[in-house]
Structure 1
């Protein structure tokens, strides 16, 4: 019997996108005119329900690391479960490790819900709504996070999309603007900020840093197509992750700095009871023929 999650498909004349609500509300693959825009999930990893090998997953209610799973908020100190094996920190929130329910779906969109009660992974209640939709050449991801706790709570949002690198076909380059780069220490936690470097081809770049003061716009030029990313005002940080020896990179629009709950800036949002944080990102595609 297969252990793979149920998949929901979106399709129009340009896009074919598959989503696994029960596997962290993740995108399994996203193809534009038959070519992968996001790193596709290998069949064996899908069968193993390995959400970190999917094409894109949501970051809610926080992005990246909380140092050693510990933080102070208000008058209390909280200890979180280290939620990934071998990781000294809590990372990427809870949404990517939970099953989302499907509220509505059709050929062009899917709406998913996640209701969280306080636990050892996150001590505050919230409800998240994630919408993934295609229209024309654009893929749009939207998030609404509502504080359902009786207290004010910290809240963040973002996505973790992976993009393939086809080094055999040519270079892939990222064009964007940001104000500063957070430099990590031996524990992969921000310890300083510096002027961002000028990156060349991503194929030759090794990086895992958060960038603050992001413009909210980015262009990725690949050998096959151009990807234009636009993010809403809530997402003014971005994490660029390009590990050595791997045929992919991640460009993650997020709402706050790594380890923001322990003093790094920009901070997380603080939501009053019933207050909502909204975030959105759009991935719009352009063919090389249109650029010529």
Structure 2
């Protein structure tokens, strides 16, 4: 029988954020001035320890899909165990399905650590450290992934944040810049690329694609607030996921293309022994009438 994970709370005058290190290092909810910035985890899903229903989880050491769980690196070919029921591919790395240990925690920040030994889900050893920090109106996520293996290894990073769609209150729009959209085949794997379409209201959009040549910045305008997103240079791509009929979308800053280990570009980083990849994304909040939002919280 499952039991709800231990939660750690970050609070300041604007933010209330809860993190579950033992549940994949995930963020459970993130509220700013009384409004949900990320999709809150339903209580039943938290009790069931369903990390895929959380507000945000880290993507370590790869993002999205590795086709049918197989890839070649160097002179070797690897086959990974499929890690999610109903999926034909290895997906989203290993970090979101592992327990992260708390290294430090205070009112405005938490540091978590994950040490991975080679196994059937990922054949290379690494250490990941994730920080979640609030400062004023900004929530910052950072990852440092160090290759602790005896040889060079591929490495990727990113996050899978889910944002709510409050269609009753008004439209939500995404503004960003990227140069190419990867087109998916029947197996949800990239098979071509094309010029990215122009997206209007996300409430009317259905999409699940990786976009390359991402500028590293984006703006999400909701009925309640504006989210400014800024990523560092390691996060070269973004995945936009908005399933039909659902009251959420995901905007995922990631370091490489879907199925990058099987030839899609940009590729994963390759780290020599002891080398680290550092990824960071900040979400800065703004409201047209901040004082009225604060009075509602």
TM-score by length of 2: 0.97
1:129 is matched with which residue?
129
Does structure 1 residue 278 correspond to structure 2 residue 291? no
Matches within 5 A, 1:193-208: 193-208=193-208
Paired residues of 2:2 and 2:49 also in contact (CA < 8 A): no
Paired residues of 2:230 and 2:281 also in contact (CA < 8 A): yes
1:47 is matched with which residue?
47
Q: Partners of 1:53 and 1:287 in 2: how far apart?
A: 27
Q: Partners of 1:288 and 1:246 in 2: how far apart?
A: 27
Shift of 1:191: 0.1
Q: Partners of 1:284 and 1:26 in 2: how far apart?
A: 19
Shift of 1:289: 2.1
Shift of 1:199: 0.4
1:30 is matched with which residue?
30
Equivalent position SS for 1:68: helix
Describe the shift of the 1:88–1:2 C-alpha distance in structure 2 as closer, same or farther (beyond 3 A).
closer
Q: Partners of 1:42 and 1:203 in 2: how far apart?
A: 21
Q: Partners of 2:118 and 2:281 in 1: how far apart?
A: 28
Shift of 1:34: 1.0
Q: Could you list the per-position Cα deviations for residues 169-197 of structure 1 after superposition, in whole angstroms to 9, with x for gaps in the alignment?
A: 11000000000000000000000000000
Does structure 1 residue 177 correspond to structure 2 residue 177? yes
2:294 is matched with which residue?
none
Q: Partners of 1:92 and 1:62 in 2: how far apart?
A: 6
TM-score by length of 1: 0.99
**Which ranges of structure 2 fall in alignment gaps of 5 or more residues?**
291-297
Q: Partners of 1:245 and 1:9 in 2: how far apart?
A: 32
Q: Partners of 1:2 and 1:24 in 2: how far apart?
A: 15
RMSD between aligned alpha carbons?
Answer: 0.8
Shift of 1:2: 7.1
Q: Partners of 1:120 and 1:2 in 2: how far apart?
A: 24
Equivalent position SS for 1:288: coil
2:295 is matched with which residue?
none
Q: Partners of 1:147 and 1:17 in 2: how far apart?
A: 30
1:107 is matched with which residue?
107
Shift of 1:205: 0.1
Equivalent position SS for 1:52: helix
Paired residues of 2:2 and 2:48 also in contact (CA < 8 A): no
Q: Partners of 1:78 and 1:124 in 2: how far apart?
A: 11
**Which ranges of structure 1 fall in alignment gaps of 5 or more residues?**
none
